[in-house]
Structure formats: C-alpha cells, structure tokens
Amino acid sequence: MPHVIVKMHPGRSEEKKRQLADAIVKDVASIAGCSEDAVSLAIEEIPPGRWDEEVHKPDILGREESLYKRPRRPSPGGMSTHHTS
C-alpha cells in the first residue's frame, strides 16, 4: 500500500522523526482507507548544500505533474517565492 518518503535537512532528533512518522502514517492510513500496518515511511536527510541537486530539481521541478504541495522557498534576496500553475 502507501509508501511515503520524507526528505528534509538533517538536525532533528530521533524522537522528532518518530513523531513526524507516526503523525504522517496515521493521516495517510485514515485518508487512504487502509490500516497503519499497510503504510511504510522512510526519512532521508539531505544536507542543505545538496538540496537543490538531490531534491528540488529532480523531485519538485522535475515532477510538477505529481506535486500536490509546492514549497515556498526564500529567494536569493531573502523573500519567499511561490509558484502556482
């Protein structure tokens, strides 16, 4: 059934990652109509210096058709940017 991959910057404790995973699994199971036992979840920590190449370009810009939530990212001048379709 559903498999969720969360990619985020390193720095959160194992407890925070468990809390995040538990909350996501609970919501996915509820909304997808399956048991929590059917949901798997992985957390991948990506350092900030590798974020654009490993996440933003391939998973966000490269998958616009399957992206349900677009991030607000700070621009080089510090202002946030938001792209809508």
User: Which domains are delineated in the chain?
Assistant: 1-45 (3.30.429.10), 51-85 (no CATH)
Residue with tokens 């699994």: 25
Q: What pLDDT score does 72 carry?
A: 83
Catalytic hit among 2, 48, 71, 74: 2
Could you tell me what percent of the chain has a pLDDT over 70?
85
Is 90 exceeded by the pLDDT of residue 50? Answer: yes
Catalytic residue list contains 76? no
Q: Mean pLDDT for the chain?
A: 88
